[in-house]
Amino acid sequence: MKQTAITFIACVLALGNLAHAQNAPQMDLPRIKISAGMHLIDVQVANTDEQRAAGLMFRKDMPQTEGMLFIFERPSQQCFWMKNTLLPLSAAFVADDGTIVNLVDMKPQTLDSHCSSQAVRFVLEMNQGWFDRKGIKAGAKLGGAPFKPR
C-alpha cells in the first residue's frame, strides 16, 4: 500500500511538471552563431517537430543579439503564427544558400498566418524591428554552418 501511494505521488508530480513545461519557454535548445552582414547572432536551433511547434512561446524577453533558427528537413512554404508568443517578432524566411527570401513582422498572441513567398528550409525569428534597424532586407545573405552547400 505504501509503495502504491509513493508511485501515485510520483506520477502526480511528474504530470504537474509536464503541464508546467508546456507553459514554460524552451531554453535548452542547441545554440550556434550565424551572421547577417557584419552582425553576429547567437541563435537557438529548433530542428525537431516539437521544438519548432514550441518555438519562442511563453518567452517574456530575448536579448537583441539572439534569435531562433527553425530548420526544416526540406524546402517548402513555411507559415508561422504567434499563438502563446508574448514577444513581437520579425521573421526572415531563408533559402538553402542563406538568402533572405522575405521578411514579416508578427504581432504577439495572434493566429494570423505569416508565410514564406517561396519554398524555404530556414526561418530566423528576431525581436521585431531588428532587421529594419540593421538595414537587412530581402535578398541579403545570412552566413554560418546551416547555409553551407550540402
Question: Measuring CA to CA, which residue among 52, 48, 54 is closest to residue 21?
Answer: 54
pLDDT at 22: 59
Read off φ and ψ for residue 34, nearest 5 degrees: -130, 170
Assigned CATH for 27-147: 2.60.120.1140
Q: Could you report the per-residue pLDDT of 34-47, keeping only the tens digit for each?
A: 999 999 999 999 99
Given pLDDT bands bounded at 50, 70 and 90, which one contains residue 16? Answer: very low
Cell 524555404 sits on residue: 120
Position with higher pLDDT, 15 vs 100: 100
Read off φ and ψ for residue 20, nearest 5 degrees: -65, -40
Q: Could you report the per-residue pLDDT of 69-111, keeping only the tens digit for each?
A: 999 999 999 999 999 999 999 999 999 999 999 999 999 999 9
Q: With a cut of 50, say whether residue 8 has pLDDT above it.
A: no
Contact 114, 55 (CB under 8 A): no
pLDDT at 148: 79
Q: Could you report the per-residue pLDDT of 105-144, keeping only the tens digit for each?
A: 999 999 999 999 999 999 999 999 999 999 999 999 999 9
Delimit the domains of the chain by residue range: 27-147
